[in-house]
Amino acid sequence: MSPVNLQSYLIVGAALFVLGMVGFLTRRNLILMFLSAEMMLQGVALNLVAFSRYHGNLGGQVLTLFIVTVAACEAAIALALILMLYRRRKSLDVSLWQELREPELEPIVDEAPLPPAPLPEPMPHLTVAGPEPMHPAEETSHV
Amino acid sequence: MFDGPRSYLWLIPALPLLGAALTAALGPRWLRGQSHWPCVLGSVAACILSVMTLVAVARGFPSAGTDGIRSYYEWFSAGDVTVGISLRADGLTAVMLVTVTFIGSLIAIYSAGYMRGDPGYPRFFAAVSLFLFSMTGLVLANNFILLYAFWEGVGLCSYLLIGFWFAKPSAAAAARKAFLVTRLGDIGLFLGILTLWLLFGSTATGTSRSLAMDVIFDNVALASTRGTLDHEMLTVACLLLFLGAVGKSAQFPLHVWLPDAMEGPSPVSALIHAATMVTAGVYLVARCTPLFGMAPDAQLVVAVIGGLTALLAALIAVTQTDLKRVLAYSTISQLGYMFLALGSGIEQHRLATLAVTAAIFHLVTHAFFKALLFLGAGSVMHAMGDVIDMRRFGGLRKVLPITHATFLCGAAALAGFPVLFSGFWSKDEILAVTWKAAHESEYATIYFVLLVCALGTAGLTAFYTFRAYFMTFWGEVRIPEEAGHHPHDASPVMGVPLMILAAGAVLVGITLGPTGIFGGFLEQHWMKRQFAARLLPEPGGHHLNWLLMSISGAIALGGIGLAYVLYVKTPALTDNLAKAMSGLYGWSRNKFYLDELFEAIFVRPLEGLARLIRILDQYFVDGLVDLIGQIPSFIGYLVRPFQNGLVQSYALLMALFVGGLLLATMLR
Amino acid sequence: MVFFLDITDASRGAALLTLVRDFWPLWATAALGCAGIYGLLPQARTSKPIWAGFGVAAAILLAGLWFVRQDGVWPEQVLFYAFSFLAVVGGILMLAQSNPVHAALSFALVVLNVCGLFLLLAAPFLMAATLIIYAGAIVVTFLFVIMLAQQAGLASADARSREPFLASLAGFVLLGALWCALDKTYNLTPVLRELDLVASAKSLDEVAKLWSEPAAKPGARTLPALDRLKNALPRELEYDVPELEKAWAKQDLPALTKAAARLRDQAAKLKLGALKPRDRDAPVEAPVTAQNVAGLGRTLFTRYLVPVELAGVLLLVATIGAIAIAGRRGEGLR
């Protein structure tokens, strides 16, 4: 019906936003949670730039620039906080922090054991590097 | 005084009310031992104003063409009924006012001496003042709702005063019993008022309904002349009104509260249960004579109950050992006499006025001598250290001379000692009216039986009155230990009212009765204005019935003599007689087991019902309320697991609801 | 707030069902995609299921087929498809990878492709700025943090997800709702089809059957179908719908078909959502194409001056804040 239009870009933006949201809700590493939030911001930035192109003025792009700025500040503060949290528990797992729950509830711990890690592949046996060792005279055969 | 009672009529109830308010406000902290002043001053002032009203009425107030009604204030109006505070002044009201306020003032003065040192001193006088306000308002009220309001007011004050020493369980129980039993009567009164309002309440304009007495009486008369009067409904209304009177005036079967009410202080018994409150029922029936006069069946019921009560109470009083109980039963008996008189006036033969006159006259004389007797009993109690059982003291005429003399006057008046004492004249008028009814009414036989009962009661009255007198004041001097060593006679504060009342007991009768002043006054200034023409007596007055007077005089003297013989000359005979008639004696002693009967029929089932309802309330209703109270707690229990401390769970909830919000917006 | 309260309103439920029924391709695609993501999320098992990968692939394919149109300028189409495909794939990979380093690198891939899309949208400065700041600074910083904090490489927490099913469900609901909203606004195909049917109707009964709804009565003032039409059309065409209403009220078939045809042609001409380089709206400060940087600079420092200053202050505050928070040694380590 029509070529790549505003709706297409908005659809992609929406997909990115939702992916970021699912990542934020799911991943347990603090860093990855933050990166998922950044992906949400990417989706929003895409929307804004698409609208800027649709309306023909630069308002969307300016807002995107500000979003990038604020994302940078946010990254700085987030890292500082992650640092503090890491110092306490020596881990980047967000599930360790459950102290604000209701007093009667039990803390949620991981129960299902992880599958055993795959054995490291044996290192291939390569020949020793260096000059060729001396062969005994009678063993050499070049026929 | 200035332009007639119109200007000061409202002060008569207002001054005791002011006294009550002042006593209640200032009494406990500032007045304390002097708390009687507002009450005494208020009642004396009201008495003076009442006398002025009486004089004004006697001089012809209200002048022809006007009525003695003054409306002060519109209390409320609902739908098509308007109730205002309107007071009336006519002959009957003036007589009642003077009686109430005069005796009330005397009793207030007496109480200042009797109740001295009691911790509830201010409360007593506040309640007494409130009572005087209610009682004067009751007799002044011109419309039925106002009357009912004051009716309840006197009931309330009676409750407050009977249960004055509320820490005593018997007093509290007696107060409750009085209130509840009179409540039964009040139901009848209210239903009667409603019936009257519905049937006869239309005003002249026909747009609204009134509860004013004059309007209702006029409508009844009008309907009667037109021939459209519904006699059955009128009889029903009159009987309902009489039910109220039965409750308040302690007639059978609602008389059981009055003997128990003797738990209150003696001045209370004198004021409320002898002179004034219990006469409210008599006043009501008298005031409604234009109604009762048109319903002869209702009048028959009134007379029968009155006569029956008189005889019953007299039989019980014969064997009581508590002096105040004897006096209480004699009150019931005398009230029965008044109702007997009221019930004996029948329309066809123009006897209504005579009957009503006799009843009101007996009311006035009874007020004087019964108050006197109760105050005298109070003086005896005061001297004997609150012992009132006659078996424990005796020969007090040497120890308490003033009390003895005044008590003798009262006893003689009550017994109907011929000629000298007022009781004779008033009782005789009642007997005369009953005699006439026995001859000339259509229920002649019933009235004849009632006449015989009345004569028998007269004899019993004389007997038990002087039995009590002789047991108390004659015989050897016996003083119980509670009295201390020197029982003192009444102080002047208590003595002077006794003497004034004794003078009244003697003089009121002979001056007002046979001379026809009383009857003439009432006839002139009340009945001529209120009653339909055919209820008024034939011109020519009535003659004194000498035969009946001599018979009743003889009976009275006989009763006194019998009492003298049994209780002074040969006291041992009484025990033998009691053993000989042990069955009858037991019945009389135990008040014919009426209290026990009521207890079994009414009180026990109601207590069971109350217990059942308490269980229902405690477990079912409270349980339901508690259950509803648990609902927020339960919701919290359901929702609490969401708060698991994990940031991602919170974010998950937010995300889910944002999605839902978006959907909801789109679906709009 | 009030409209939330009639949640039991039957018409609300019927409207939801209508929404799902009308836009079922979108919902199906979203369902497939989110089901696939659920399968791909790191959970405690040896390897990821095959069906999840297929689901995600199918979802992307369908999205490509249904949402982006066929005709148009070919280079733009190809580039758009490529960049958006890689961006979405990068996003999915970021979710699926257990190793945090791999996930961070996938994020860098996403940023790269979004910047490609920026370029397609004629925002070169933003492309460069985003690339430098995100892929250059932020991702690298986080890689450093992961390297220092998790030297083992893979912690047990990384191999698990928190509430995978509910998160996928939330994603599905949100995605479906967003796509439906977008399609309702920018896709006029069903409306055009309906107007076409009305314009070519031979009798009033056909129209009545087309527009028939339980409460409709011929001659009624407002037909629910016409209300729906008015809501579906963009704002500019709203005022032409009353003509349709009048024709229907008068039961005038020629006028009805004429009005419907005119409305259809106007709507077809509308090219909703077309991205025009210029003169689409009110006058702009600067054209959007090659002079993008100059225009951006001029706009920033004239119209948006105060936000720029505030952003500078914000950066300063963030720096000081970060140092203040993280500069403190933990208790016991002083």
Cα gap B121→C111, rounded to integer Å: 96
What integer is the mean pLDDT of B162-189? 91
- pLDDT band (50, 70, 90) for residue A140: low
Considering only the beta carbons, identify the residue of A24, A102, A107 that sits closest to B651.
A24
- pLDDT band (50, 70, 90) for residue C288: very low
Task: Report CB contact under 8 Å: B644, A98.
Answer: yes
Task: Report CB contact under 8 Å: B645, A105.
Answer: yes
Instruction: Identify the contact set of chain A against chain B, taking CB-CB distances under 8 A.
Output: 21, 24-26, 28, 33, 94-95, 97-102, 104-105, 107-108
pLDDT at B490: 73
Query: What SS3 state is found at A142?
Result: coil
The token pair that represents C33 in the structure block: 């995609």
Sign of the CA dihedral running B195, B196, B199, B202 = negative
- pLDDT score of A4 more than 90: no
What integer is the mean pLDDT of B104-109? 93
Considering only the beta carbons, identify the residue of B655, B667, B668 that sits closest to C170.
B655
Task: Report CB contact under 8 Å: A105, B651.
Answer: no
- pLDDT score of B237 more than 70: yes
Which position has the higher pLDDT, A93 or B480?
Answer: A93
Q: Is B606 on the interface with A (CB under 8 A)?
A: no
Shortest Cα distance, chain C CAs vs residue A132, angstroms: 38
What integer is the mean pLDDT of A61-87? 92
pLDDT at B333: 92
pLDDT at C329: 63
- Predicted model pTM: 0.65
Residue B636's closest chain A neighbor by CA?
A: A102
Which position has the higher pLDDT, B359 or C74?
Answer: B359
- pLDDT score of B76 more than 80: no
Query: For A118-132, what is each residue's pLDDT tens digit?
Result: 677 777 887 778 887
Judge whether B404 and B396 are in contact, CB under 8 Å. yes
Q: What is the 3-state secondary structure (H, E, C) of C50-68?
A: HHHHHHHHHHHHHHHHHHC
Mean pLDDT of chain B: 85
pLDDT at C122: 84
Shortest Cα distance, chain A CAs vs residue B646, angstroms: 5
Which position has the higher pLDDT, B62 or C93?
Answer: C93
pLDDT at B542: 58
Q: Is C240 on the interface with A (CB under 8 A)?
A: no
Domain locations in chain A? Answer: 6-92
CA dihedral C127, C129, C130, C136 (to 10 degrees): 120
* Nearest Cα residue to C201 out of C264, C243, C270, C268: C264
Shortest Cα distance, chain B CAs vs residue A97, angstroms: 7
Task: Report CB contact under 8 Å: A58, C285.
Answer: yes
Residue C174's closest chain B neighbor by CA?
A: B659
B210: left (phi over 0), alpha (psi -120 to 50) or beta: beta
**Percent above pLDDT 70 for chain A:** 89
Considering only the beta carbons, identify the residue of C94, C114, C137 that sits closest to A23.
C94
Considering only the beta carbons, identify the residue of B643, B652, B655 that sits closest to A101.
B643
Q: Is B647 on the interface with C (CB under 8 A)?
A: no
Partners of residue B646 in chain C, C-beta under 8 Å: 162
- pLDDT band (50, 70, 90) for residue B206: low
Q: Is C35 on the interface with A (CB under 8 A)?
A: no
Task: Report CB contact under 8 Å: A21, B655.
Answer: yes
Shortest Cα distance, chain B CAs vs residue C151, angstroms: 25
CATH of region A6-92: 1.10.287.3510
Task: Report CB contact under 8 Å: B643, A107.
Answer: no
Which position has the higher pLDDT, C70 or B485?
Answer: B485
Cα gap B143→B212, rounded to integer Å: 4
Residue A101's closest chain B neighbor by CA?
A: B645
Q: Give me the count of residues in chain B.
A: 668
Partners of residue B648 in chain C, C-beta under 8 Å: 162-163
Shortest Cα distance, chain A CAs vs residue C197, angstroms: 18
Q: Which of residues 116-135 of C touch A (CB under 8 A)?
A: 117-118, 121-123, 125-126, 129-130, 133-134
For tokens 């129960």, the residue is A111
Before B253, cis peptide (omega within 30)?
yes
Shortest Cα distance, chain C CAs vs residue A41, angstroms: 11
Domain locations in chain B? Answer: 596-666
What integer is the mean pLDDT of C175-203? 83
For tokens 């359901």, the residue is B638
Shortest Cα distance, chain B CAs vs residue C56, angstroms: 21
* Residue type at B542 in one-letter notation: H
Q: What is the 3-state secondary structure (H, E, C) of chain C?
A: CHHHHCCCCHHHHHHHHHHHHHCHHHHHHHHHHHHHHHHHCCCCCCCCCHHHHHHHHHHHHHHHHHHCCCCCCHHHHHHHHHHHHHHHHHHHHHHHCCCHHHHHHHHHHHHHHHHHHHHHCCCHHHHHHHHHHHHHHHHHHHHHHHHHHCCCCCCHHHHCECCHHHHHHHHHHHHHHHHHHHHHHHCCHHHHHHHHHHHCCCCHHHHHHHHCCCCCCCCCCCCHHHHHHHHHCCHHHHHHHHHHHHHHHHCCHHHHHHHHHHHHHHHHHCCCCCCCCCCCCCCCCCCCCCCHHHHHHHHHHHCCHHHHHHHHHHHHHHHHHHHHHHCCCCCCCC
What integer is the mean pLDDT of C222-237? 72
What integer is the mean pLDDT of B443-456? 87
* Nearest Cα residue to B291 out of B426, B87, B137, B144: B144
Task: ipTM value, please give it.
Answer: 0.84
Q: Is B486 on the interface with C (CB under 8 A)?
A: no
- pLDDT score of B532 more than 80: no
Q: Which of residues 96-125 of A touch C (CB under 8 A)?
A: 110, 112-115
φ/ψ of B386, rounded to 5, equals 70, 20
- pLDDT score of B44 more than 80: yes
Shortest Cα distance, chain C CAs vs residue B650, angstroms: 11
Mean pLDDT of chain A: 85
Judge whether A25 and C95 are in contact, CB under 8 Å. no
pLDDT at C332: 45
* Residue type at C63 in one-letter notation: A
Cα gap B507→C174, rounded to integer Å: 107
pLDDT at C1: 43
Task: Report CB contact under 8 Å: A80, C326.
Answer: yes
Judge whether B598 and B256 are in contact, CB under 8 Å. yes
Q: Is B647 on the interface with A (CB under 8 A)?
A: yes
**Percent above pLDDT 90 for chain A:** 42
Q: Is B644 on the interface with A (CB under 8 A)?
A: yes
Shortest Cα distance, chain C CAs vs residue A128, angstroms: 30
Task: Report CB contact under 8 Å: C173, B663.
Answer: yes
Task: Report CB contact under 8 Å: B651, A107.
Answer: no
The two beta strands, B69-78 and B81-88, are antiparallel
Distance from chain centroid for Cα A141:
58
Give DSSP secondary structure letters for B287-333.
HTHHHHTT-HHHHHHHHHHHHHHHHHHHHHHTT--BHHHHHHHHHHH
Task: Report CB contact under 8 Å: A80, C325.
Answer: yes
Which position has the higher pLDDT, B421 or B374?
Answer: B374
- pLDDT band (50, 70, 90) for residue C69: low
Q: Give me the count of residues in chain A.
A: 143
- pLDDT band (50, 70, 90) for residue A42: very high
Distance from chain centroid for Cα A8:
25
pLDDT at B246: 92
CA dihedral B641, B645, B646, B647 (to 10 degrees): 120
Query: For B239-288, what is each residue's pLDDT tens digit?
Result: 999 999 999 988 988 889 999 999 889 999 898 877 788 889 999 998 88
pLDDT at B530: 66
3-state DSSP helix/strand/coil percent for chain B, to nearest 5?
75, 5, 20
- pLDDT band (50, 70, 90) for residue C128: very high
With residue B73 as reference, give the H or E element that holds it. strand B69-78
CATH 1.20.1250.20 fits C19-185, yes or no: no
Q: Is B659 on the interface with C (CB under 8 A)?
A: yes
Cα gap B435→B426, rounded to integer Å: 14
Task: Report CB contact under 8 Å: B663, C177.
Answer: yes
Considering only the beta carbons, identify the residue of C73, C159, C311 that sits closest to A69.
C311
Shortest Cα distance, chain B CAs vs residue C282, angstroms: 29
How far are the Cα atoms of A27, A80, A85, B225 from residue C149, in angstroms, in the given order? Answer: 17, 13, 11, 116
**Percent above pLDDT 70 for chain B:** 92
- pLDDT band (50, 70, 90) for residue C282: very low
Residue B661's closest chain C neighbor by CA?
A: C4
Lowest mean pLDDT among B202-211, B652-661, C28-37: B202-211
pLDDT at C130: 94
Query: For C143-174, what is each residue's pLDDT tens digit?
Result: 998 888 877 767 777 778 888 899 999 999 99
Lowest mean pLDDT among A7-21, B157-171, B322-336, B568-582: B568-582
Query: What SS3 state is found at B441?
Result: coil
Task: Report CB contact under 8 Å: B667, C15.
Answer: yes
Q: Is A95 on the interface with C (CB under 8 A)?
A: yes
Residue C167's closest chain B neighbor by CA?
A: B652
* Nearest Cα residue to C110 out of C122, C98, C123, C97: C97
pLDDT at B568: 78
Residue C13's closest chain B neighbor by CA?
A: B667
Query: What SS3 state is found at B383?
Result: helix
Query: For B6-41, what is each residue's pLDDT tens digit?
Result: 778 888 899 999 999 999 998 888 877 788 889 999
Shortest Cα distance, chain B CAs vs residue A129, angstroms: 53
What integer is the mean pLDDT of C267-295? 61
Partners of residue C29 in chain A, C-beta under 8 Å: none
Beta carbon pairs, A and B, within 8 Å: 41
What integer is the mean pLDDT of C64-83? 75
Chain A adjacent subunits, 3+ CB pairs under 8 A: B, C
Before B418, cis peptide (omega within 30)?
no
- pLDDT score of B224 more than 80: no
pLDDT at B56: 85
Query: For B288-344, what is each residue's pLDDT tens digit?
Result: 888 887 888 888 899 999 999 999 999 999 888 889 999 999 999 999 999 998 888
How far are the Cα atoms of A60, A131, B72 from residue A128, in angstroms, in the given order? Answer: 62, 9, 131
pLDDT at C285: 46
- pLDDT score of C261 more than 90: no
Instruction: For an interface test with C, give the residue of A10, A17, A18, A38 to mutate (most C CBs within 10 A).
Output: A18
